[in-house]
Structure 1
Amino acid sequence: MPTYFHSTRGNADMLTSKQAIRQGLAHDGGLFVTDDLGNRHVDVESLQGGDYQGIARQILGTLLPDFNDTELWECIDAAYGSQWDDPSITPLRQLGDDYVLELFHGPTCAFKDVALQMLPRLMARTGYGVPDDANASREDGMRTASAARERIMILTATSGDTGKAALEGFADAPDTGITVFYPEGKVSEVQRRQMTTQRGGNVHVCAVRGNFDDAQSAVKRIFGDERIAADLASGSHVRLSSANSINVGRLVPQVVYYFCAYLQLMERNAITAGDEVEFVVPTGNFGDILAGYYAKRLGLPVARLTVASDRNNVLYDFLTTGTYDRERPFFQTTSPSMDILVSSNLERMLYYMSDGDSDLVDSLMGDLKHRGSFTVPSALLSRIQELFGCGWADEDEVSRAIHDCWEHDHYLMDPHTACGYHVMRMQEQAHERTQEHGSAKTRVLLSTASPYKFPRVVGRSIGLNCPDGDFECMDALAQATSTEAPDQLRGLSDLPERFTDVIDIAEMPQYVIRAANTLS
């Protein structure tokens, strides 16, 4: 039986995974899901001894079955190669009695690379024929030439890291353009320069006046605007698609590193096959932790998934009360990638945890759109709370977590990861693991970005007198800690900024149309 994808809000359209990836967002505004999730399990023990690439092949082959073996291997080989500075791709480090999974060893030093090095390669094989790299075979090139009738414009809003990772993945991909919007003044200086200095003739970067939620909501409206879609299709033969985690092709590659973490624990004899593991995940848009839920549905022994939030703790409030309320103050924090009040991927979790009740999901999303909040039934909340825990850290707690982790474990972490570190420590103090779950479980904290993406925050947290410039801060941090700033970050100071536009939210549709018209 083939696997089909449909909207979280209904099943009027049934698409293959290739079609769902290409389209990005369902026509009704919902996110693509498949009711086959969990019907096929992955045998963890059978993956022992394999490398990241082999594990990825098994997981992606299970979740995206209409990609054939050759296609998957081509994508994986190109996505997880020499652009990573660690051969294990997502190495596991011990952190006291716990572990930290480092997801930042890719080309942009953030966890988004894991998925956004893969998504362009997957999208290249969805029917319009974009070769994944300069080493594409002659046969692939011929297929591209015959299929390139429709061009794709990737449209993305970013809270900091997605934008650069997507730009890096799609830069100079034939028959493809990418437009990234980021909130002006609400990303770190390093994150901003990563985007504004991006190479590539097909890339467009623009700051918007507002916060991430404003930009993301506008992007969703653009996707749902039939007039824009018709104009682009008839004029420049362009279809819009997404690189945000609303795109299922962006989400599923993240499932792989949960399995890799588990297998690395087995290799260290920290656990044996079948032992349950807890994961603590810094997240704002809920995609990174949702991948852990997918892993559990595939058979990975996951005991608990804990959401770690910053001061914009809308997910914490939802997971403790059952009410999701976006009508609340927005705080600009030192963890900008989590400064989010509308967590898009929560919709997928609600669909699965309600046993596929698309009518309920549609109603809840309608309440969120029109009233600014929704409340789930108490039975559903109880079911969610059985698996998902939560905690959050304010700015002082983030800084203290960075300081304490360096002092106690000599481990340097960024402010997003520090939110998770703080939540882990709070769990210990409350004896949550032993009181609620019996014997203590092995815990893994997902580390989402290099500390050198936020050198000023990290430096000040460990007591450095930081210079004025972020790049000088990198040098001071490196000298004080005997660590090294990644070349791809330190070298940004020497690159010219290409993109300086700043626009209002209302101007975003016209900006997208102008960008699409530049595709040739």
Structure 2
Amino acid sequence: MHYLSTRGGIAPIGFADAVMMGLATDGGLLIPAEIPEVTPDQLRAWAGLSFQELALEVMTPFIGEEIPREDLRALIDRSYATFAHPQVTPLVEVGGNRILELFHGPTAAFKDVALQFLGNLFEYLLARSGGRLNILGATSGDTGSAAIYGVRGKERIQIFILHPKGRISPIQERQMTSVLDENVHNIAVRGTFDDAQGIVKSLFGDLPFKSAYSLGAVNSINWARILAQSVYYFHAWARVSGGDPERRVSFSVPTGNFGDVFAGYLAKRMGLPVERLVIATNRNDILTRFVRTGDYAVGDRVYQTLSPAMDIQIASNFERYLYYLLDGDSDRVRALFEDMRSSGRLEVDASHHRRVEADFAAAAVTDEETLEQIRSTYSSSGYILCPHTAVGVHAARGMRDVVCLATAHPAKFAEAVGEAIGLEAAQPPSLQGLMGKECRCIELDATAEAVKGHLQGALEAAV
């Protein structure tokens, strides 16, 4: 399997190079040259597989012979041995809703599904090549801790994670900053997640700097994350459908950066019988507005909400979808993003907008609706939703055969849960005692120059 850039500016590369490159050197995102098709017979055969066995089957066509099958099997088994539930991502019935619990990993968030695998994959590829990797990422809450837990203590890897100061939950902050391994560097930037993500993209776009300091990506710009997340769509569909290829299932996905819902779109393109993908956003509703109008326009500011991991204006994975929407016209993709950079908006024509509406439904959910959903679900079933999951459940109201993705454990958002139902969710073992741990973090201005200087100094000191 070869990989290309959405902007058409690189020669085809293999899977390993795509993983290590992260963001394409022309500023685009890496996508497979072709999407493998899954047949109805394969869907039937896969329906009885464990999560680990299913991951092996879904990933193999995208990796080809670059990683021997038994090595890939070992990577997958090691990655999901860290999960507390034997099914890895169990599907539960809650008051008439189907909830896909994605929070049984070491940091109690869905990002663990991809980042436990990506950390082991990085380690495997670096050991094979003898290279080193300096990971640079931005987080709106959960990506940072999942990435840190995926690579903490690993040889040949240093990780630098930026988070917006004061804009993530206390537990999310403590999960990152209490990891004291020497290869872990936490940076609080004085700004928003979009500021932090912009810094990361700027430094990746500085090709001499990226090459000199061996920068790698763990944000959902890295293709391996999308690939790993697509597995749980197949896993959930099999549990609902019993393996019947005629049974179509919808998914409601709380999303800000478009990576999680794009993984579902990838599964659908592969042949998974998906009816609708529901994009569930909060007040930061750029994706919802795009689905409804075809106009992708940045708002005047990023609003702080009860679902902070979705407090995002510019969804980095949107570019991958746009590439497929435009039938692989990389020149058009590049032109649209040049327009976006100058005007803050891009727009698709009416025919393409009709295709968007066929691919997705969308809903923007207010904080008041989020609290009401947590309250009503708890009242009817005793089940506690995290605020992000509540956004997805609310967006799916009235739909049939829908699976709602539970993206984080409710104990990570004690303030929102307490406001809704007057009590806190019981903490899983992975979160217990966090708030009393020693922390390490530095604070910087939200500029590429400040972060670049800190990264250079830290890496020179580590030599």
Aligned to 1:51: 50
Aligned to 1:510: 453
CA contact (8 A) 1:18 1:123 kept: no
Aligned to 2:401: 442
Provide the rounded CA distance (Å) in 1 between the counterparts of 2:402 and 2:386.
19
Equivalent of 2:253 in 240, 262, 281: 281
Letter in 1 for 2:2: Y
1:499 aligned onto 2:458: no
Which deviations, in whole Å up to 9, do the C-alpha atoms of 1:132-172 show, x marking residues without a partner? xxxxxxxxxxx5xxx42x31101000000000000000111
Seen in structure 2, the aligned counterparts of structure 1 residues 500 and 490 have a Cα distance that, compared at 3 Å, is farther
Provide the rounded CA distance (Å) in 2 between the counterparts of 1:398 and 1:300.
30
Letter in 2 for 1:32: L
Equivalent of 1:296 in 235, 260, 268: 268
Seen in structure 2, the aligned counterparts of structure 1 residues 40 and 400 have a Cα distance that, compared at 3 Å, is closer
Q: CA deviation at 1:377?
A: 1.9
Seen in structure 2, the aligned counterparts of structure 1 residues 360 and 487 have a Cα distance that, compared at 3 Å, is same
Provide the rounded CA distance (Å) in 2 between the counterparts of 1:157 and 1:224.
15
Aligned-residue identity in percent: 39
Aligned to 1:28: 26
Which deviations, in whole Å up to 9, do the C-alpha atoms of 1:206-237 show, x marking residues without a partner? 1001100111011101011134235xx2xxxx
Letter in 2 for 1:493: M
Equivalent of 1:477 in 399, 424, 440: 424
- Is the deviation greater in 43-52 or in 250-259? 43-52
Q: CA deviation at 1:41?
A: 4.7
Aligned to 2:148: 167
Letter in 2 for 1:257: Y
Q: CA deviation at 1:499?
A: 1.8
CA contact (8 A) 1:160 1:192 kept: yes
Provide the rounded CA distance (Å) in 1 between the counterparts of 2:47 and 2:249.
17
User: SS in structure 2 opposite 1:117?
Assistant: helix
Equivalent of 2:418 in 459, 466, 477: 459
Seen in structure 2, the aligned counterparts of structure 1 residues 40 and 19 have a Cα distance that, compared at 3 Å, is farther
Q: CA deviation at 1:39?
A: 4.4
Provide the rounded CA distance (Å) in 1 between the counterparts of 2:281 and 2:117.
27
Provide the rounded CA distance (Å) in 2 between the counterparts of 1:169 and 1:415.
25
1:138-149 counterparts in 2 under 5 A?
Answer: 147-148=129-130
Which deviations, in whole Å up to 9, do the C-alpha atoms of 1:67-93 show, x marking residues without a partner? 220221121011000x21100000001
Unaligned runs of 5+ in 2: none
Provide the rounded CA distance (Å) in 2 between the counterparts of 1:393 and 1:290.
20
Letter in 2 for 1:9: R
Aligned to 1:8: 6
Aligned to 1:255: 230
Q: CA deviation at 1:494?
A: 2.5
CA contact (8 A) 1:276 1:301 kept: yes
Letter in 2 for 1:200: D
User: SS in structure 2 opposite 1:332?
Assistant: coil
Which deviations, in whole Å up to 9, do the C-alpha atoms of 1:77-135 show, x marking residues without a partner? 11000x21100000001123330100000000000000000002222333x31xxxxxx
Aligned to 1:437: none
CA contact (8 A) 1:304 1:387 kept: yes
Q: CA deviation at 1:361?
A: 0.8
CA contact (8 A) 1:175 1:519 kept: no
- Is the deviation greater in 293-302 or in 275-284? 293-302
Provide the rounded CA distance (Å) in 1 between the counterparts of 2:342 and 2:299.
11
Bigger Rg, which one: 1
User: SS in structure 2 opposite 1:87?
Assistant: coil
Q: CA deviation at 1:35?
A: 2.7
Aligned to 1:190: 171
CA contact (8 A) 2:10 2:25 kept: no
Q: CA deviation at 1:62?
A: 2.0
User: SS in structure 1 opposite 2:424?
Assistant: helix
Q: CA deviation at 1:355?
A: 1.3
User: SS in structure 2 opposite 1:28?
Assistant: coil
Q: CA deviation at 1:378?
A: 1.6
Q: CA RMSD in A?
A: 1.6
Equivalent of 1:354 in 313, 326, 329: 326
Provide the rounded CA distance (Å) in 2 between the counterparts of 1:48 and 1:327.
43
1:312 aligned onto 2:254: no
Which deviations, in whole Å up to 9, do the C-alpha atoms of 1:456-501 show, x marking residues without a partner? 1101101x1xxxxxxxxxxx525xxxxx311221220221112243
User: SS in structure 2 opposite 1:258?
Assistant: helix
User: SS in structure 2 opposite 1:458?
Assistant: helix
Aligned to 2:138: 157
1:366-377 counterparts in 2 under 5 A?
Answer: 366-377=338-349
Seen in structure 2, the aligned counterparts of structure 1 residues 285 and 454 have a Cα distance that, compared at 3 Å, is same
CA contact (8 A) 2:298 2:313 kept: yes
Kindly report structure 1 stretches of 4+ aligned residues shifted beyond 4 Å.
39-42
Aligned to 2:60: 61
Q: CA deviation at 1:40?
A: 5.3
User: SS in structure 2 opposite 1:401?
Assistant: helix
Letter in 2 for 1:164: S
CA contact (8 A) 2:241 2:247 kept: no
Letter in 2 for 1:351: Y
Provide the rounded CA distance (Å) in 1 between the counterparts of 2:31 and 2:8.
10
Equivalent of 2:205 in 224, 231, 234: 224
Seen in structure 2, the aligned counterparts of structure 1 residues 76 and 518 have a Cα distance that, compared at 3 Å, is farther
Provide the rounded CA distance (Å) in 2 between the counterparts of 1:407 and 1:117.
34
Provide the rounded CA distance (Å) in 2 between the counterparts of 1:222 and 1:326.
22
CA contact (8 A) 1:177 1:519 kept: no
Letter in 2 for 1:86: H
Q: CA deviation at 1:519?
A: 4.1
Equivalent of 2:430 in 488, 492, 498: 488
Provide the rounded CA distance (Å) in 2 between the counterparts of 1:320 and 1:123.
39
User: SS in structure 2 opposite 1:304?
Assistant: strand
Q: CA deviation at 1:329?
A: 2.5
Q: CA deviation at 1:319?
A: 0.8
TM-score (norm 1): 0.86
Q: CA deviation at 1:390?
A: 0.1
Equivalent of 1:392 in 364, 381, 388: 364
Q: How many residues align?
A: 460
Provide the rounded CA distance (Å) in 1 between the counterparts of 2:203 and 2:435.
34
Provide the rounded CA distance (Å) in 1 between the counterparts of 2:291 and 2:305.
21
1:378 aligned onto 2:350: yes
